[in-house]
Structure 1
Amino acid sequence: MTRILIVEDDIDIRGMLARGLEAEGFSVGMAGCVDDALTSARDEVPGAVVLDINLPDGSGHDVCRSLREGGYPGPILFLSARDEIRDRAEGLALGADDYIVKPFVFDELVARLRTHLLRRQSADEPVSRISAGKLVLDLDTRQVSCGEANARLTPREAELLAMLMESVNRPVSRGDIFDKLWASQGGLSLNVVDVYIGYLRSKMADFVRFGGPVLVTVRGRGFMLDLRGPDYRH
């Protein structure tokens, strides 16, 4: 069972994260300050770290820097109310894998966390299943499921869905999708992306009833799997 270290001084947020991650099948360690975080990481190396910036005895930047300088190899995700570009840039420059702004959607945090954990797996342990919230894709069988709903995808549909799941709640441009999946074939136009997006939407139509993400078009930016609910949708 993968252990996640939560470094957060807000007791309510820390408790909510702990309960949610445990329900998702993780074990959890918790710290409310820099010293406790570094001690906890030293005593039992976590699989990943979810890290606030504002801490009572310093900064989450100090934790990230110390962990990376000490050779910590796992994913580090900043979770902070600071939403300026310079804050994100500083966190990523220190070696963090991701930066999520508060207030946040828990399902998005879990999806990004799982994605980074999967990317860190060794090459001799190939990934066969990926998830985004309640959506699960088996890359071997190309079966996608959400609750009691499921669908079988073609190889290209599965590749497209996997690409969108890796960027959940973030748009992927039509051009990027085309370049990765179809550009090498020649003789095709960008319209092929729209055609396959339509195929996926049709096969995933029932998933929303079971809390699954919605495949939405973001005007001028591309397509994305949206886990955030109707109040956020474009």
Structure 2
Amino acid sequence: MPSARPILIVEDDHALRQALAEQFSEEGLYQSFEAATLKEAAQYLNAADARFDSIILDINMPDGDGRDFCAQMRRQGHRMPIIMLTGNANEEDIVQGLNSGANDYIAKPFRASELLARVNAQLRAFDTSEDAVFTIGPYTFRPSAKLLLTADRKQRIRLTTKEVAILKFLYRTNGEIVSRQVLLNEVWGYNAGVTTHTLETHIYRLRQKIEADPNNCKLLLTAPGGYRLNAAPVEEPAAVPAGATW
């Protein structure tokens, strides 16, 4: 099962913020973080280990306008889907929100199930877009470009379609062990002609590309019955693996 995706809820109404956090967490698909002010939200986003897959952002915050904050996040390079909340539903307000960089807009009052559906839809689109970016160890992972990049962008590792699918699925499990059969079914589908040997061959080749020492793996780990991905960010880039391209 895919891991819970981190989502930041920026809303000054405590009751609403808490209700949304509980709703998203109950689904099991999201891990909710709460910010009552734009300052708190900025602290979350500026943290060294920050990773949010989506943001729910109220426009009328006590320390500023959510639209200005949204525009600032886009200028800083944040590309995750942003869903804006507002008590106003007039056309001009909606246009201003979308022009600030929001992906979608929902007026209060609203059903939590509708907001959840909109977030799910935005994330489905985002995951296949050019903007989707994930951190795996010392690398920035861009699935749509089939690339792993180091922070200084000097090291570019090109991936195959299957290698991208393997990394994406393992990333979503948040470090949990995935059995060989589950990973095989996820990447190749229920194809009777494909065996675990095929998966093991792809894992071997992927390790040659991404591991500084394929004999002492730090990222793509063998675990009882399968594999797991250690995607925790590291400060220093790994030594250049044999499969790296420039």
1:42 maps to amino acid: N
Say which of 25, 45, 67 aligns to 1:41: 45
Displaced runs of 4 or more, over 2 A: 122-125
1:117-161 per-residue CA deviation (whole Å, 9 max, x = no partner) reads 011114455x9xxxxxxxxxxxxx9xxxxxxxxxxxxxxxxxxxx
Deviations 1:158-178 (A, max 9, x none): xxxxxxxxxxxxxxxxxxxxx
Q: 2:93 aligned with 1:74, yes or no? A: no
Question: Could you say which residue in structure 2 is the equivalent of 1:108?
Answer: 114
1:93 offset after TM fit, Å?
Answer: 0.5
TM-score where L is the length of structure 1: 0.52
Shift of 1:38: 1.1
- TM (normalized to structure 2)? 0.50
Deviation at 1:41, TM superposition (A): 1.5
Distance of 1:74 and 1:112 partners within structure 2 = 14
Per-residue Cα deviation, 1:10-56 (whole angstroms, up to 9, x for no partner): 00000000000001121011111111111111222311000001111
Structure 2 equivalent of residue 2 of structure 1: 5
Bigger-Rg structure (1/2)? 2
1:21-170 equivalent positions in 2, closer than 5 A: 21-25=24-28, 26-43=30-47, 44-122=50-128, 123=144
Q: Secondary structure at the match of 1:77?
A: strand
Unmatched tracts of structure 2, length 5 or more:
129-143, 145-163, 169-188, 190-246
Q: Which runs of 5+ in 1 are unaligned?
A: 128-140, 142-234
CA-to-aligned-CA distance 1:40-89 (integer Å, 9 cap, x gap): 11222311000001111111112201110000010000011111111100
C-alpha RMSD of the superposition: 2.2
CA distance in structure 2 between the partners assigned to 1:23 and 1:63 by the alignment: 28
Q: Quick check: 1:5–1:41 contact (8 Å CA) kept in 2?
A: no
Q: Which one has more relative contact order, counting CA pairs under 8 Å at least 6 apart?
A: 2
Calculate percent identity across the aligned residue pairs. Answer: 35
Alpha carbons 2:68, 2:100 under 8 Å: kept: no
Instruction: Count matched residues.
Output: 130
Alignment partner of 2:22 out of 19, 24, 39: 19
Q: Aligned to 1:73, what secondary structure does the other structure show?
A: coil
Distance 1:57 1:73 in 2: 23
